[in-house]
Chain A
């Protein structure tokens, strides 16, 4: 089945710094989702981005489907950005169940 790899596994930043998180996937996909899991465990949808670039405030994401990767950019990071960031892609074949990467744990220090 499809494999999803995220890097780096851990990232520690000072408030105000910028960061780039990467998601590689092993097969062609027709969509991709980025999530933020906050310290309370909630999974928050950030982006649904099958291709191209999207922006939402200080966050933006780019997916290059032909090269099988996606990037999540966080600018001017805040302590509330801390948590784990997951990317997930659907399997093919009618179900489209999501396959998740192992996540990037981001810690933003004041």
Chain B
């Protein structure tokens, strides 16, 4: 068990809908990363938060947004969903984000029908 908790494990929804993925980092970790794993793009970085502030952005679509709350949990919001958004979404956490091992949650498998 990595100590990073992601909910839900599976999500099935329809095109055009909006969903929220939740991540609770390891106790004490300030930095949260979101990654997307799709069949055609592999594992790609989406966005990073550090202690409530956005620190880095990757190839994240404008339809996607995220935030980190004062208790350090993070949410990834995906809206106007398309078939191509079907993927595994991972959250990872580290204590500070610099020179630390990243621990990954079990992922949320999103299926857009």
Contact = CB atoms under 8 A, between A and B. Distances in A.
Nearest to B44: A100
Contacts of B92: 98
A86 B104 CA distance: 13
A103 B107 CA distance: 18
Contacts of B100: 96
Interface string A86-110: 1010000011111110110000000
B99 A30 contact: yes
Given A97-B33, A97-B48, A98-B35, A41 B88 contact: yes
Contact of B106 (A35, A42, A100): A42
A35 B92 CA distance: 13
Given A95-B48, A97-B48, A31 B99 contact: yes
A96 B95 CA distance: 12
B107 A42 contact: yes
State the majority secondary structure of interface residues on B: strand
Nearest to B107: A41
B56 A95 contact: yes
Q: How large is the interface on B (under 10, 10 to 19, 20 to 34, 35 or more residues)?
A: 20 to 34
A52 B78 CA distance: 41
Given A45-B2, A94-B55, A95-B48, A100 B42 contact: yes
A43 B55 contact: no
A47 to B, nearest CB: 9
B97 interface: yes
A94 B58 CA distance: 14
Interface of B: 2, 33, 35, 42-45, 48, 55-56, 58, 88, 90, 92, 94, 97-104, 106-107, 109
24 contacts: A30-B99, A31-B99, A35-B104, A41-B107, A42-B107, A45-B2, A45-B104, A48-B101, A94-B55, A94-B98, A95-B48, A95-B55, A95-B56, A96-B97, A96-B99, A97-B33, A97-B58, A98-B35, A98-B45, A98-B92, A98-B102, A99-B45, A100-B44, A102-B42
